[in-house]
Amino acid sequence: MKIYTPVVSLLAVTVMLAACGKKEVEVPAPAPVEEGAATAAVVAEAMQEVDAIVEAAQAEVAETSEAVQAAVEAMQDEVDAVVEEEIAEIRAEAMEEVAEVIDQVEQELTDAAAESLKDQASKSLTDGLLPKVGF
């Protein structure tokens, strides 16, 4: 792993400079590395470690995604229940208000009808009795 330390450091600096928005990245030529059995073994081991890290990260992302999805579904169920309760309360209040208006109108109609009946009865008595008395 010591052979690749300058290469990895150079790569890290290159990535950071590129991320900072520098238009041209100046990369010095890497020192020549001798290919051999030891180098191939180190690269293979590093690739296995990287693959294991990637697989672990992907598994963690999948678990987190599933947990978040379950939490969102639970929240949605709670929101649906709250909304249904609110709608039921609003409907009940509206029905009470409508019932009050209906009661008020019925009372006004009853009062008006009673007054009208009184007036008619009074007129009938007046019209019917007064001419007979001779006034």
Which pLDDT belongs to residue 113? 83
Which pLDDT belongs to residue 116? 83
pLDDT in tens, 48-104: 999 999 999 999 999 999 999 999 999 999 999 999 999 999 999 999 999 999 999
Q: What is the dihedral of CA 65, 70, 73, 78, to 10 degrees?
A: -130
Q: Span 126-130, mean pLDDT? A: 63
Give Dmax over CA atoms of the chain in angstroms: 144
Give buried/exposed letters for 68-82 (b at 16+ CB in 10 A, else e).
eeeeeeeeeeeeeee
| Contact (Cβ atoms closer than 8 angstroms) between residue 38 and residue 64 | no
Which pLDDT belongs to residue 128? 64
Between CA 69 and CA 56 the distance in angstroms is: 20
Res. 1 pLDDT band, cuts 50 70 90: very low
Which of these ranges, 19-28, 33-42, 53-62, 115-124, has the smallest mean pLDDT?
19-28
pLDDT in tens, 30-54: 666 556 666 788 888 899 999 999 9
Q: Span 16-38, mean pLDDT? A: 59
Between CA 76 and CA 91 the distance in angstroms is: 22
Determine whether 17 is exposed, middle or buried from the number of CB atoms within 10 Å of its CB (0-12, 13-18, 19+): middle
Between CA 95 and CA 88 the distance in angstroms is: 10
